[in-house]
Amino acid sequence: MEKFKLLAEPWWVNLLFLFPFAAYFFWKESLRLTKKILIIAFIFGAAFGFVEAAVVIYLRAAVGLLPGYGGTLTDVVRLSSAMFDQAQILGQLPQSLFIVELFREAATIVMLAGVAFLTVRAFKERCAVFFWTFAVWDIFYYVGLWAAVRWPNSFIAPDVLFLIPVPWYSQVWFPILISGLTMLVIIMRISKKV
């Protein structure tokens, strides 16, 4: 069984833990966001998280790291959930697919930013919508993986968080905690007058 690891790699990824606290002070004055905007961004983020989970499942199947994919999802869960190690895929991912993954990750950020630019005009609120949607997307990525292949099997399962500019590694609890805290800060900073 995995042991709890406090720190992510590379070292600077750990600085993300400061983000929700910095955002709390950066957004001292209330965010002018409506519940409708946050709900729509939530729905988009959740749906996009499930799409991301599906992409990861397809990628693993494409490189032969998903036992049972020729059968049902039950077969996949039974045969692969215990060995669904995200970090393992980097060493076995062909260079061509690695490049595609880098572009897919960059496109993901562009899409999340696009939602923010389409929903609000002010910079502060655009940042908040971007981070809100990113946080929901991140959480529902793990929900989607768990629903499909029963991974992660614990919050201390190791994962590859991102590939740009270099691979980021941590346990699953790390991005979920940061995403949850970010969402909490945004909810706390919403203006009651909007």
| Conformational region of residue 150, where left means phi above 0, alpha means psi within -120 to 50, and beta covers everything else | left
Bond from prior residue into 165 cis (ω within 30 degrees of 0): yes
pLDDT number for residue 74:
80
14: in domain: no
Is residue 13, in this structure, part of any structural domain at all?
A: no
Residue-range definition of the domain harbouring residue 77: 30-188
Answer yes or no: is 25 within a domain: no
Tens digit of each residue's pLDDT, the chain (194 residues): 679 999 999 999 999 999 999 999 998 888 999 999 999 999 999 999 999 999 988 888 887 777 777 777 787 777 765 555 555 666 667 888 889 889 999 999 999 999 999 999 999 999 999 999 999 999 999 999 999 988 898 999 999 999 999 999 999 999 999 999 999 999 999 977 65
Is residue 15 domain-resident?
Answer: no
Residues in contact with 58: Cβ distance below 8 Å, sequence separation at least 6, in sequence order = none
Output the pLDDT for position 24.
94
82: enclosing H helix or E strand:
none
Q: What span, in angstroms and rounded, lies between the C-alpha atoms of 43 and 133? A: 9
Residue 150 counted as domain residue? yes
- At 136, list the tokens: 């929901």
| pTM of the full structure | 0.91
pLDDT the model gives residue 18: 96
| Residue 45 to residue 136: CA distance in whole angstroms | 5
Q: Is residue 20 part of a domain?
A: no
Alpha helices by DSSP H, the chain = 19-26, 35-62, 73-80, 86-92, 95-119, 123-149, 173-188
Residue 9 lies in a domain: no
Is residue 18 one of the residues assigned to a domain?
no
Q: How far apart are CA 158 and CA 138, in angstroms?
A: 15
Q: How many domains does the chain have?
A: 1
Task: Single out the residue of 149, 148, 144, 153 nearest to residue 171, CA to CA.
Answer: 153
Structure tokens at 159: 């994962």
Q: What DSSP element (H or E) covers 169?
A: strand 168-171
pLDDT of the residue at 176? 98
